[in-house]
Amino acid sequence: MAPRHRSGAHAGSDADQLRVTLKHSVVVVGSGIIGCAIARELSIRGAKVTVLDPRPIAGGATQASAGMLAPYVEAHHSGPMLDLCVRSLDLYDRWIDDLRAESAVVEYRRSGTLQVALTPDDAERLRGEYGEWLAPEAVAARVPALAETCGAMWIDKHGYVDAPQLARALGASAERRGGRVAFGRVERLDSVSGAIRVQVGTEEAFDVRTVVLAAGAWTNRIEGVRTPPLRPVRGQLLHHTGGIGRIASILWGPDCYIVPRDRGLLIGATVEDAGFDERRTDEGVALLFTAAQRLLPALQRDSIEEVRVGLRPVTPDELPVLGRDPEIHGLVHASGHYRNGVLLAPITAKLIADLVIDDVVDPALSHFRPDRF
């Protein structure tokens, strides 16, 4: 089946138009936050970009992301990963400003995080982390709805963004610059006479110069390419809409995090080896809600509006895969971001565009090479 443009054009003419477009474009496989970020950056730099995905924009792991921007919690150990996450966070303010200047509506705040210590052992551990230590009375004054604590670590640089909203804004920005977002499942990639043949579905095949693999957990299901050892990790996320008073900061407890949004709270997230099973589970919901109630006792279970489920792509060392494929000329990898896809989206887009457009290899890429396994 030929990939279909989002606007719903007639199938025949659309397939013909797409075939012509693809011959002169960069194909990005995947319309999650990483794929859309790369597509926009490539489009800004003049590339003709086509994004292919069997789902709508942000239809996979992105829609189940809480959108936290918290490198000093998620990648708190010093090293290449923390450095990359901090570089990416530093790009966010300008990135969002530029999108908003294009009339995009994106919920984004640098609201800070509170890593909450519920026990003396938690407090002792957290005191060695990055941030400002707050005594119990200071924590209670900041978030009155919190359970009794032994203190908390405050990091004001952190924040959050509405990940699906951001991905859609990035995709729309790419399209305004001549990019194209089309429905289509990439089944196979082959090196053919200096080009890459992209097999879409069972009937259509197109030859292109450059392909960026940003298919997340589904990357390994594409035939013809020796992909890094990615596996899916299921994450369940709760959207809670009950009123418990205003919470200004992201809360991070021993077994969950809580992200305050314009409408309600997001409570996440489970970490489950469940293969490609994207179903919600009663057990996962119960574990998350119980952990959240330890932080905010006033939470009511009947205020859970929805459960979102996504499959995060993880590598054996839990680091992303970024850079040129060692075997197929013109193939570039951008996957394996695990829990940090939203945080790493702007720096990933920049590094991949530098590589594809300007043939510039950032030194950081040496730590995330596709052939490191």
Q: pLDDT, tens digit, for every residue of 298-342? A: 998 889 999 999 999 999 999 999 999 999 999 999 999 999 999
User: Would you place residue 192 in the very low, low, confident or very high pLDDT band (cuts 50, 70, 90)?
Assistant: very high
Mean pLDDT estimate for the chain:
92
For residue 204, what pLDDT is reported? 85
Closest Cα to residue 173, out of 5, 359, 40? Answer: 40
User: Would you place residue 195 in the very low, low, confident or very high pLDDT band (cuts 50, 70, 90)?
Assistant: very high
Tokens of 350: 């920049």
113-155+231-314 matches 4-65+164-230+317-367 in CATH topology: no
What letter does residue 223 receive in the DSSP assignment? B
For residue 5, what pLDDT is reported? 45
The rounded percent of the chain whose pLDDT value lies above 90 is 86
Domain 4-65+164-230+317-367: which CATH number of 3.40.30.10, 3.50.50.60, 3.40.50.300, 3.30.930.10: 3.50.50.60
To the question of pTM greater than 0.85 for the whole model, the response is: yes
Q: Where are the domains of the chain?
A: 4-65+164-230+317-367, 113-155+231-314
Residue 301 near residue 344, CB atoms below 8 Å: no
Q: Does position 179 have pLDDT exceeding 60, yes or no? A: yes
Angle at 3 between CA 332 and CA 198, to 5 degrees: 35
Phi, psi of 127 (to 5 degrees): -60, -20
For 176-330, strand residue ranges (E) read: 180-183, 186-192, 195-200, 204-208, 210-213, 231-240, 250-252, 257-260, 265-268, 304-314, 321-324
For residue 17, what pLDDT is reported? 53
**113-155+231-314 has which CATH code?**
3.30.9.10
